[in-house]
Amino acid sequence: MQPLIIPRKEHGISRKQVSLNALRTLYRLRDNGFIGYLVGGCVRDLLLGRTPKDFDIATDAAPGQIKRLFRNCRLVGRRFRLAHLYFQDEIIEVSTFRAAAPAGEEEPDETAASASRSRQPRHLVDEDGMVLRDNVFGTPGEDALRRDFTVNALAYNIADFSLIDFTTGLSDLRQRLLRPIGDPLVRFTEDPVRMLRAVRFSASHDLVIEPATWEILCELAPTISRASPARLYEEMQKLFLLGAARPVFHLLLKSGLFAPLFPGLSRWLDESDLNPARLCENLAWLDRRHGNGTSPPSPLLFLALLFGPALEAETLVRQRDGIPRQQALNAAYAAFMEELCKTVQVPARLGGRMRNLLAMQPSLHRMPPRRPASLAARPDFTDALAYLRAGAETRGENRSVLGWWDDFLSAPPAVGSQGLPADEAPPKRRRRRRRRHRRPAPAAV
């Protein structure tokens, strides 16, 4: 299929919208005789009038050639060999055009030589068709066709500032349709994470997943657990932390992706009296917080909002059996994380911080709190208070408690000794008087 080429004057992408570092990279590639395209999500987002999250570049320069051209370059990735260019405030990803599958006898190019040196196959598929390694270089057209969705396969050519559409990306974008390139069954089998990407783009970019694709996605949803837990954790952050957590949650439940991703939480949703509405409220609150631009929600706060209600309920069950709260929380947390980490590898340190955030809640609720300034100085206090705020603003829980903390934090502290408020200044240590040993009176003579 011939690509559709849209000249500069017929599309709305201007260089002013492109990061200066990306432009400089493209110019240097071009000036050294290489092809330089802006590719992927940034082209899609510029066409939709959104600010791209990052700028990706594709080129016909091999990784080694990119490395020689840019001093700030580091080659990364096993599954995909990529160049990362480090700038002060940005990393630009530059990848060599790749083909979807091995094209028989490979050309003995520079990278083929280094690949055979390391004796690693450049394309590797497991027995179920999942791609394990994909380093076969290809043409710009082949590179576009191995991408996930048509709207993600558009390219902006620095040579003449034209747009290149190798598939049906432009018309799909106009119809706000999300469609995989090729057979969805094959594409989702090659890489199950594409199902999560479909859900993410649909939720965050207001795109409709093509009906036939949606059916296949629902059918293949249980296979999501075949993706590596580390990759699923990364994807989970993108799913929930970019301002569309609530619609993402809805689509995950509807498609059947939620249960294999979060088996423990899913069971809890099925079995407990609380319905998913509580989590929906929390996630909608998270999205509003993302939208109002105060401070983007942290992964810690998100974890607490998603898993906190279930963990608190499990803790309560154990407390009813007479186990003290902290011990009950620890046990509930350990069981929950053990199961979760089989599919989604939440870093242990972050998980531990979530447990501490939940453990801090009773101290925050206590009115008046004991030693509030030291509580406020604890690590992760801000997120612990945000967790309390979510409950107050969505379900009206503990509003007076939140009011107390807001007043406390906005009032200038009455500083006593050691910078603590007067009521928290440690009591002055009394000096122990030394007993004077009186000399015994001289015996009367």
The reply on whether position 39 binds Mg ion by CB under 5 A is no
Residues paired with residue 86 on neighbouring β-strands, in sequence order: 91
289 binds, among Mg ion, ligand ATP, none (CB under 5 to 8 A by kind): none
Residue reference for tokens 């993410």:
200
Complex with Mg ion: residue 41 or 140, whichever CB lies closer: 41
Tell the smallest beta-carbon distance from residue 152 to Mg ion (Å): 9
The residue within the footprint of ligand ATP, chosen from 35, 81, 98, 147 (CB under 6 A), is 147
Q: Is 391 in the site for ligand ATP (CB under 6 A)?
A: no
Count of CA atoms in the C-beta half-sphere (13 A) of 93: 15
Q: Is 41 among the residues that bind Mg ion (CB under 5 A)? A: yes
Tokens matching residue 148 = 């996930």
Instruction: Tell me: does residue 179 bind ligand ATP (CB under 6 A).
Output: no
Which residue shows structure tokens 């028989």? 104
Place of tokens 């559709």: 4
| Token pair 């947390």: residue | 333
- End-to-end CA distance of the chain, in Å? 129
Options 191-199, 244-252, 337-345, 387-395: segment touching ligand ATP (CB under 6 A): 191-199
Q: Is there a contact between 55 and 92 (Cβ–Cβ < 8 Å)?
A: yes
Q: Is 54 in the site for ligand ATP (CB under 6 A)?
A: yes
Which residue in 25, 59, 152, 167 binds ligand ATP (CB under 6 A)? 152
- Kindly state the smallest distance separating residue 149's Cβ from Mg ion, in Å: 12
Q: How far is the CB of 54 from Mg ion (least distance, A)?
A: 4
- Residues near Mg ion (CB under 5 A), total: 2
Site string for ligand ATP, 23-42 (x = CB under 6 A): -----------------xx-
Output 115 or 155, the one with its CB closest to ligand ATP: 155
Examine residue 243 and tell whether it contacts Mg ion (CB under 5 A): no
191 binds, among Mg ion, ligand ATP, none (CB under 5 to 8 A by kind): ligand ATP
Q: Is the Cβ of residue 194 or residue 278 nearer to Mg ion in the bound state?
A: 194
> Do residues 213 and 179 make contact, with C-beta atoms less than 8 angstroms apart?
yes
Tell me the C-alpha distance between 16 and 55, whole Å: 13
Of 53, 365, 371, 378, the residue at the interface with ligand ATP (CB under 6 A) is: 53
Closer Cβ to ligand ATP, 42 or 388, answer by number: 42
Residue 127 and residue 189 in contact, taking contact as beta carbons nearer than 8 Å: no
For 226, which DSSP code? G
- Output 39 or 163, the one with its CB closest to Mg ion: 39
Contacted by 278, from Mg ion, ligand ATP, none: CB < 5 to 8 Å by type: none
Q: How far apart are CA 141 and CA 99, in angstroms?
A: 9
- Taking CA 330 as the corner, what is the angle to CA 326 and CA 336, rounded to the nearest 5 degrees? 145
Give the nearer residue to ligand ATP in terms of CB position, either 149 or 333.
149
Q: Which are the catalytic amino acids?
A: 54, 56, 148
235 binds ligand ATP (CB under 6 A): no
* 320, two tokens: 């009813």
- The yes or no reply on residue 299 touching ligand ATP (CB under 6 A) is no
Query: Which residues, in sequence order, are CB contacts of 445 under 8 Å at separation 6+?
Result: none
- Order the strands of the 154-157 sheet from edge to edge: 4-6, 162-165, 154-157, 36-39, 56-59, 90-96, 82-87, 73-76
Is 243 in contact with 290 (CB distance < 8 Å)? Answer: yes
**Residue 19 interacting with Mg ion (CB under 5 A):** no
Closest to Mg ion by CB, 152 or 315:
152
By rule CB under 5 A, what string of x and - marks binding of each residue 46-85 to Mg ion?
--------x-------------------------------
- Shortest approach of ligand ATP to residue 181 CB, angstroms? 8
If one counts every other C-beta atom within 10 angstroms of the C-beta of residue 326, the result is: 12
Strand ranges in 151-286 using DSSP code E only, listed in sequence order: 154-157, 162-165, 177-178, 208-209
CB of 193 to ligand ATP, least distance (A): 5
Alpha-carbon distances, residue 21 vs 42, 62, 85 (angstroms): 14, 20, 9
- Asked if residue 397 lies in contact with residue 350, where contact means CB atoms within 8 angstroms, the answer is no
Positions touching ligand ATP (CB under 6 A) are 40-41, 53-54, 56, 147-148, 152-153, 191, 193-194, 238
